[in-house]
């Protein structure tokens, strides 16, 4: 029973959502709008699960003296931000927005900027002419790298065009093929979920 009901719900609503896509009838549209609203409500409750889990884990780690300072700061962030939002609102000039713009945004940008450094080290390590395919990859990468900066136009007016050609034709062909494969994989996985063949999301069966 514990698995049969969710499977039945999944089958019924899966078929309904699939069917409504092909229908222009007002009842089909209304069903669809209804389910979208329920989806929003369910999502809001899942956020509560996350908050509770984070708070519980942090408190447990603090009580066990595992990185207590870091955990306390993280927990304080979780508690302080909603309090600031409730007291001062979230509009321009509020303490919440100040914290967001001056603490959260710079921290996130900093971590994002690590990507530039890691791209440099990955490029240094990864683009070696070990084999013929690797050499082709290396030459292509150099063409695209140079073509994306204004320096390319100083070398030749045609350089950016070569770069766009590489991006628009060979690279695009490979990406489209992978995308078709991924699309088909997604479709069959979704079909297996709807038909109840795939039950991992239930309880690992």
Partner 1 sequence: MVPVVLLVLVLRESVCAAQIEGQSPGWFNTDTTATLVFSFISLVIVLYAILSVRSGRRFKIREIPGLKAVDEAIGRATEMGAPILYTPGWGGDIQRPTTIASMNILSSVAERTAEYDCRLIYPTHDPVIMAVAQEVVKEGYAKAGYPDRFKPDDIFYISSSQFGYAAAVDGIISRIKPASIFLLGTFEAESLIMAETGNSIGSIQIAGTDSTIQLAFFIVACDYTLIGEELFAASGYLSQNESTLASVKAQDMIKILIALFIIAAMIWATIRPLSTWWKF
Partner 2 sequence: MERLRTRWIIFLGLAAVVVISYTMNLPFKTSASPATEKAYKYIETLPESSVVIISFDHEASSLPEIQPIALAMLRHVFRKNLRVIGLSLFAEGTAIGYEMLNRTAGECNRNYGRDYVFLGFKPQYISAILGLGESIRRVFPEDYPGNKTDTLAIMRNIDTYDSVRMVISIADGDRTMQWIEYAGARYNQKVMAGLTAAMITSYDPYLSSGQLFAVVGGLRGAAEYELLYGRRAAGNRGMLAQSGAHAYVIALIIIGNIIFFRSRRRKREG
Smallest distance from partner 2 to CB 159, Å: 12
Nearer to partner 1, 123 or 156 (CB): 123
| Structure-token pair, residue 84 | 């600031």
- Residues between 166 and 195 with contacts to partner 1, criterion CB under 8 A: 175, 177-182, 184-193
Q: What is the DSSP string of 78-144?
A: HHHHHHHHHHH-SSTT-HHHHHIIIIIHHHHHHHHHHHHHHHHHHHHHH---SSHHHHHHHHHHHHH
Separation of alpha carbons 57 and 90, rounded Å: 28
Residue with tokens 């971590």: 111
Question: Taking CB under 8 A as the rule, does residue 154 contact partner 1?
Answer: no
- Residues between 42 and 61 with contacts to partner 2, criterion CB under 8 A: 43-44, 47
Binding mask 110-149 for partner 1 (x = CB under 8 A): -xx-xx--xx-xxx-xx-----------------------
Size (the chain), residues: 205
- Residue 76, exposed/middle/buried by CB under 10 A (0-12, 13-18, 19+)? exposed
Residue 14 CB coordination number (10 Å):
16
DSSP state of 67: S
Nearer to partner 1, 9 or 80 (CB): 9
| Structure-token pair, residue 134 | 């690797």
Q: Which residues bind partner 2 (CB under 8 A)?
A: 21, 29, 32-33, 36-37, 39-40, 43-44, 47, 90-92, 97, 100-101, 104-105, 108-109, 111-112, 115-117, 119-121, 123-125, 127-130, 138, 141-142, 145-146, 148-151, 153, 160, 164, 167-168, 171-172, 175-176, 179
Q: Which residues bind partner 1 (CB under 8 A)?
A: 5, 8-9, 12-13, 18, 21-31, 33-35, 38, 46-47, 49-50, 53-54, 57, 60, 104, 107-108, 111-112, 114-115, 118-119, 121-123, 125-126, 175, 177-182, 184-193, 197-198, 200-205
């Amino acid at each position: 029973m514990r698995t049969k009901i969710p499977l039945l719900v999944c089958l019924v609503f899966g078929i309904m959502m699939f069917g409504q896509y092909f229908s222009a009838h007002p009842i089909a549209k209304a069903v669809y709008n209804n389910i979208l609203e329920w989806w929003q409500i369910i999502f809001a409750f899942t956020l509560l699960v996350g908050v509770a889990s984070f708070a519980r884990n942090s408190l447990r780690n603090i009580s066990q003296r595992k990185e207590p300072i870091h955990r306390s700061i993280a927990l304080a962030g979780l508690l302080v931000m909603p309090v600031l939002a409730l007291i001062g609102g979230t509009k321009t000039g509020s303490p919440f927005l100040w914290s967001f713009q001056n603490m959260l945004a710079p921290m996130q940008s900093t971590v994002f900027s690590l990507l530039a450094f890691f791209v440099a080290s990955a490029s240094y390590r990864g683009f070696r002419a070990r084999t013929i395919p690797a050499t082709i990859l290396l030459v292509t990468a150099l063409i695209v790298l140079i073509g994306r900066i204004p320096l390319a136009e100083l070398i030749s007016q045609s350089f950016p065009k070569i770069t766009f050609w590489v991006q628009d034709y060979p690279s695009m062909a490979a990406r489209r093929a992978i995308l078709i494969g991924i699309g088909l994989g997604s479709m069959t996985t979704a079909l297996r979920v709807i038909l109840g063949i795939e039950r991992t999301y239930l309880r690992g069966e």
